[in-house]
Chains A and B, each alone.
Chain A
């Protein structure tokens, strides 16, 4: 009897909904859809902003290495800083467990400042992020409100346009950006770096990051496997104007290493431990960071699925070009019609991550058929690639084989091609096979380069083909 009463009391309490209010930021309730749904079963109210301990660290070209702390509630701190209202402002927000002092945030600012003159603000909410996940995912709302308030102050004090604001959020930080965009309409751009999946995937648009939160929303998905049972931390549905799924979005190359090799990382034990815990999830900001200095190294091919992209159905880029994943995605702002655009590409397995995709078509010459594989290396005005395997199986003379190369260097104009075949077997008849013609097509602009060969070669011997 007592038990049912207690249960009834709980239900009553839940049905009423609780609310907390904070100075400047307004009130937050745990009503639907914030709690009590299948996606968000645990009732939690966000913490006080003082308890979350939100910090804004400003980096500009005048102070690239020592950040200045600014407080939105105190305009004098902004006035005395290097903040310049004539520049674009980019906020970088971290996610669960992370902190604003983590080096990836300041490194990203440093890279941006090397290519453009911006106000780069790292948003830290360490204490609010280092608690139970259910609590942290509700603290997101307060952090978002604080950023929205910051932008409001800029509008009032400097006549600053929200269209000049870009918020980059990783994991829970992506939803922080979404919340800020909801509270302050007209923000120019939000970039979601693998937005967090638990407590957000499947919820209404007002809870999570959505394309309605800013004029332009681009998302990079790198860890979209279900949280249960695969421990994927990122959202899989497309939520922005442009949604990039590098390497298919589920499993990133370089993240399948054995634990010892993963933890003892080239960038140190701390970086390695982070990757051990969430390698796929953290790849999203590494790709973004690399995209700042390799604008054309992350072209996204619009395709129905990753499998179709891999089999070459969505190659090359259309006439208007492929959207750039990462920093330069906003080149495509306004060029996209309604609906969701899913884009696929491959990346490298360690830094540097950019790759340039080429299609290679080889017509073989020779007398006998053999089993083996075909390797191709591209040589161009700006360098040459490694040998890439484009086909494995039975090699028949005068047949044509097609494959794709994700080249680790941008070779520029292709000037020659080298062909090599091998089967790792000693064949006493020493068969000879050559490439009669090779066509190389660049994915970036669709340009085709034709090459001809005149000889056949033994296995493991390089054949050079010249333009024709």
Chain B
């Protein structure tokens, strides 16, 4: 559930395991609504910004550095 600790997005009902910084603990969080900040689906399983809700896409300029450090952010 939202607010519970997680290691992987697959553990969360919302399928977003979110942490605010590289050092903080990750917790389940709701997906991003339209006009909110987001990141595209990544392989890391833990996000700094959650992916968008269904039907929306994360509008983002992908860069190589960004996709490695999981810091490509955009808006839904």
Interface residue ranges, A against B (CB under 8 Å) = 254, 256-258, 260-261, 264, 266, 349-350, 375, 377, 379, 384-387, 418, 420, 422, 460-462
Given the known A-B contacts A261-B27, A264-B25, A377-B34, are A386 and B3 also in contact in the complex, defined by CB atoms under 8 Å? Answer: no
Let me know if A384 and B55 touch, CB within 8 A: no
> Chain B 2-33 against A: per-residue CB contact (8 Å), 1 yes, 0 no?
11110000000000000000000101001101
Interface residue ranges, B against A (CB under 8 Å) = 1-5, 25, 27, 30-31, 33-35, 53-56
Let me know if B33 and A261 touch, CB within 8 A: no
**Out of B1, B5, B33, B55, which one reaches A256, CB within 8 Å?**
B1
Chain B residues with CB under 8 A of A387 = 33, 53-55
A409 and chain B: residue at smallest CB distance: B33
Let me know if A257 and B55 touch, CB within 8 A: no
Let me know if A386 and B53 touch, CB within 8 A: yes
Chain A residues with CB under 8 A of B3 = 254, 257, 261, 349-350
Bound together, the chains give a CA A417 to CA B56 distance in angstroms of 14
Let me know if B54 and A460 touch, CB within 8 A: yes
Let me know if B33 and A386 touch, CB within 8 A: yes
Let me know if B27 and A460 touch, CB within 8 A: no
Bound together, the chains give a CA A257 to CA B3 distance in angstroms of 8
Bound together, the chains give a CA A258 to CA B2 distance in angstroms of 11
Let me know if A385 and B33 touch, CB within 8 A: yes
Let me know if A462 and B56 touch, CB within 8 A: yes
What 9 A-B pairs have minimum CB-CB distances, sorted nearest first? A462-B55, A261-B4, A386-B33, A261-B5, A420-B55, A387-B53, A460-B54, A257-B4, A350-B3
B31 and chain A: residue at smallest CB distance: A386
Chain B residues with CB under 8 A of A258 = 4
Chain B residues with CB under 8 A of A420 = 54-55
Task: Decide if the interface of chain B is mainly helix, strand, loop or mixed.
Answer: loop
Chain A residues with CB under 8 A of B34 = 377, 379, 384, 418
Chain B residues with CB under 8 A of A261 = 3-5, 27
Bound together, the chains give a CA A195 to CA B27 distance in angstroms of 32
Let me know if B54 and A422 touch, CB within 8 A: yes
Bound together, the chains give a CA A445 to CA B17 distance in angstroms of 37
Let me know if B33 and A384 touch, CB within 8 A: yes
Q: Looking at A254, A349, A385, A387, which has the most chain B CB atoms within 10 Å of its CB?
A: A387
Bound together, the chains give a CA A257 to CA B31 distance in angstroms of 19
Bound together, the chains give a CA A187 to CA B73 distance in angstroms of 55
Let me know if B2 and A350 touch, CB within 8 A: yes
Let me know if B2 and A349 touch, CB within 8 A: yes
**Out of A264, A379, A461, which one reaches B55, CB within 8 Å?**
A461
B54 and chain A: residue at smallest CB distance: A460
Chain A residues with CB under 8 A of B35 = 384
Bound together, the chains give a CA A384 to CA B3 distance in angstroms of 22
A252: min CB distance to chain B, Å:
12
Chain B residues with CB under 8 A of A266 = 27
Let me know if A460 and B5 touch, CB within 8 A: no
Let me know if B30 and A386 touch, CB within 8 A: yes
Let me know if A460 and B55 touch, CB within 8 A: yes
Chain B residues with CB under 8 A of A386 = 30-31, 33, 53
B57: min CB distance to chain A, Å:
10
Let me know if B55 and A260 touch, CB within 8 A: no
Bound together, the chains give a CA A349 to CA B55 distance in angstroms of 25
A322: min CB distance to chain B, Å:
26
Bound together, the chains give a CA A254 to CA B28 distance in angstroms of 12
Bound together, the chains give a CA A209 to CA B34 distance in angstroms of 47
Chain B residues with CB under 8 A of A460 = 54-55
Provide a sorted-by-A list of 9 A–B residue pairs whose CB atoms are within 8 angstroms.
Answer: A254-B2, A257-B4, A261-B4, A350-B3, A377-B33, A384-B34, A384-B35, A420-B55, A460-B55
A50: min CB distance to chain B, Å:
43
Bound together, the chains give a CA A462 to CA B25 distance in angstroms of 33
B35 and chain A: residue at smallest CB distance: A384
A265 and chain B: residue at smallest CB distance: B3
Bound together, the chains give a CA A386 to CA B16 distance in angstroms of 15
Let me know if B5 and A260 touch, CB within 8 A: yes
Bound together, the chains give a CA A101 to CA B3 distance in angstroms of 28
